[in-house]
Amino acid sequence: MNIFLKELKSHRKSLIFWSIGIFLMVTSGMVKYESLSSSGQPMNEMLAGMPKSLLAVLGIGEFDISTASGYYGLLYIYLLLMATIHSAMLGATIIAKEERDKTTEFLFVKPVSRNGAILAKLAAAFVNILILNIVTFVSSLVLVGKYSNGEVVTGDIAITMAGMFILQLLFMVIGSSLAAVKRKSKTAASFAAVILLLTYLISVVIDLNEGIEGLKYLTPFKYFEAKNIMFGGGLEFIYVLLSGGWIAVLTAVTFIFYKKRDLNV
Amino acid sequence: MNVIEIKNLTKMYGASRGISDISFTVEEGEIFGFIGPNGAGKSTTIRTLLSLIYPTSGSATIFGKDIVQFAPEIKKEIGYLPSEVFYYDNMKVKDLLNYSASFYKKDCRKRIKELANIMDLDLNKKIDDLSLGNKKKVGIVQGLLHEPKLIILDEPTSGLDPLMQQKFFELLEEENRKGATILFSSHILTEVQRLCNRVAIIKEGRIVAVEKISTLKENTYKKFKVETKSALDPHYFNLAGVNKLEVKDTHTSFLFKGNINEVMRKIADVEITNLWIEEPDLEEIFMHYYEKEA
């Protein structure tokens, strides 16, 4: 319990910054929507004139961006990227920082097992990503609601947040398992970021090239895309199962490898 | 009862040597010295005992319990002071000590105050702002606040001024009187000589000797210096048990271990003008262990 509280405290400041960041992201996105929709320009027509590849790279795809919910669907990928970067870095550093700061000789000579420490740290990270998810949820709800002209958005936003939370968890354990496995755990955070960017790139490439649709199981960014889960689509069972499986495996990897290996002192 | 029992403990870092085949025991109530130069494997041994790293082969027990299997349980009664202290930034001394105390299921507040008083440590400072010596003091308080039965110290005096060193040693002796067993690792012989009952000498990852300090000093070498009237045959004192024989004109010096009467008879047979017989200090004994196999 003491490690859990200590971790919550030491990540509090960074959580506040991330929360502010994600709030500003939603705000600036929706303010942009307002200026676009009030300028009277038919946005869908404008987009129709753009090449498909450009739309794919921008993540615009098939949204009706003249509605607030459609515009939010477009914004969602950026919120998702922010939240997953946060989780991946958090998962990696919360494990690796004892070795980075050379505090292993403090913590692990106390009557605490490796498993106990990891459990407390993952629990603290879990609370952090949950809070960031709630902040995103509430900011989205309030700001999208403000511009929705009566369109009901709560359900759509809730489902995207559910998808985002699953991916946050997944990237958190990607980070933590890297830190647990790697002897030089300091590099785990940057390694996790590389994996995140690579999987995101794969998802963009898949959008550009329909021939490689089959690769979609490889990248979590294809699991819960706004265009599929919003507007009544819902989370697909296969992807929930797949994410759940990965989360379980990587959590186990985190515990097992951290227990087995020599700590860097 | 043996508090620490190490059996054939080996730790390899990949192919390179950590420690190999180390065995020794530390009895309850002892202050046990663990001595060797930097890089000999003292810290590796200690970190293995604390299961920060795991043995490649061999085993060890503390309080009769296996160090790997029962690590968290054993550590309830261990206080450890590492050679370099690192703490979480942005914490006050007070917060760190309370955090440290929160791992033990007892009320340590009174002891923290006592120890801070003895070591003259300001509890309200930020750890980042402390000097090396003051950080070390935090380490000392942190290692002793739960009144452990076994205190493990790895090069504990670096960064402490002589006055604080003195207070620290007194503190350790006090803890020892109250029943704590102490494992004291160091490369400084005088501090080991001052505190310890027994020592293990480690060299290149292997134990070369485990001896009582008193035995080390009594039973080993005596330093002889003989001044004779006329120059001696350089091989005159060349008998079994003589070491480091040096002859310079009328001055002959050597180390001797064995039946002292034999040397005395030899000395009586020549005309001498002066004679010195000295106990070697620990430093010289120690160097002896190191040169013997070099």
CA distance B192 to chain A (A): 23
| pLDDT, tens digit (0-9, with 9 covering 90-100), for B179-238 | 999 999 988 877 888 889 899 988 888 998 888 887 776 666 778 888 988 887 778 887
Domain that holds residue A66: 2-260
Of the candidates B25, B34, B30, the residue with the CA atom closest to the CA atom of residue B6: B25
Residue A255: inside a domain: yes
Q: Are A104 and A58 in contact (CB under 8 A)?
A: no
| pLDDT, tens digit (0-9, with 9 covering 90-100), for B92-145 | 999 999 999 999 988 888 999 999 999 889 999 999 888 888 999 999 999 999
B73 close to A (CB below 8 A): yes
**Option in A105, A113, A262 nearest B82 (CB):** A105
- For B189, the token pair is 């012989």
A110 close to B (CB below 8 A): yes
CA distance B5 to chain A (A): 18
The per-residue pLDDT for A94 is 94
Residue of A nearest to B13 (CA): A262
- For A104, the token pair is 């292993």
Q: Which SS3 state, helix, strand or coil, does residue B58 take?
A: strand
* pLDDT level of residue B90 (50, 70, 90 thresholds): confident
Choose the weakest-confidence range: A148-162, B28-42, B144-158: A148-162
d(CA A1, CA A116): 9
**Cα dihedral: A80, A85, A88, A94 (round 10):** -120
Residue A58: pLDDT over 70: no
Residue A265: inside a domain: no
CA distance A6 to chain B (A): 8
Of the candidates B210, B288, B207, the residue with the CA atom closest to the CA atom of residue B40: B207
> A interface mutation test: which of B102, B135, B140, B152 has the most A CBs within 10 A?
B102
**Option in B47, B53, B103 nearest A112 (CB):** B103
Phi, psi values for residue B233, rounded to 5°: -60, 125
Choose the weakest-confidence range: A48-62, A78-92, A152-166: A48-62
The per-residue pLDDT for B217 is 67
Q: What is the pTM of this model?
A: 0.84
| pLDDT, tens digit (0-9, with 9 covering 90-100), for B153-189 | 998 888 888 888 999 999 999 999 999 999 999 888 7
Residue A165: inside a domain: yes
- Mean pLDDT of the B70-88 span: 91
Which is it for the CA torsion B105, B110, B114, B117, positive or negative? Answer: positive
CA distance A118 to chain B (A): 14
Residue A46: inside a domain: yes
Bridge partners of B22, per DSSP, are B9
Q: Return the top range by mean pLDDT from A34-38, A39-43, A169-173.
A: A169-173
d(CA B245, CA A18): 74
- Mean pLDDT of the A120-126 span: 96
ipTM, interface predicted TM-score of the complex: 0.82
Choose the weakest-confidence range: A240-249, A251-260, B36-45, B169-178: B36-45
* pLDDT level of residue A210 (50, 70, 90 thresholds): confident
* Structural domain total, chain A: 1
Look over chain A and give the mean of its residue pLDDT values, rounded to a whole number. Answer: 87
The per-residue pLDDT for A60 is 65
Q: Are B87 and B129 in contact (CB under 8 A)?
A: no
d(CA B188, CA B193): 9
Residue A66: pLDDT over 60: yes
* pLDDT level of residue A218 (50, 70, 90 thresholds): confident
**Option in B53, B54, B80 nearest A109 (CB):** B80
Residue A174: inside a domain: yes
Residue A44: inside a domain: yes
The per-residue pLDDT for B220 is 63
The per-residue pLDDT for B294 is 45
- For B30, the token pair is 């002892």
- For A238, the token pair is 């296969």
B:86-115 residues touching chain A, CB 8 A cutoff: 86-90, 99-100, 102-104
Count CB pairs under 8 A between chains A and B.
Answer: 60
Residue A134: inside a domain: yes
Q: Please state, in angstroms and as integers, the Cα–Cα distance from residue A211 to each residue in A60, A216, A222, A264, B211, following that order.
A: 20, 11, 15, 46, 76
Residue A10: inside a domain: yes
Which is it for the CA torsion A76, A80, A83, A85, positive or negative? Answer: negative
The per-residue pLDDT for B178 is 94
The amino acid at residue B147 is: E
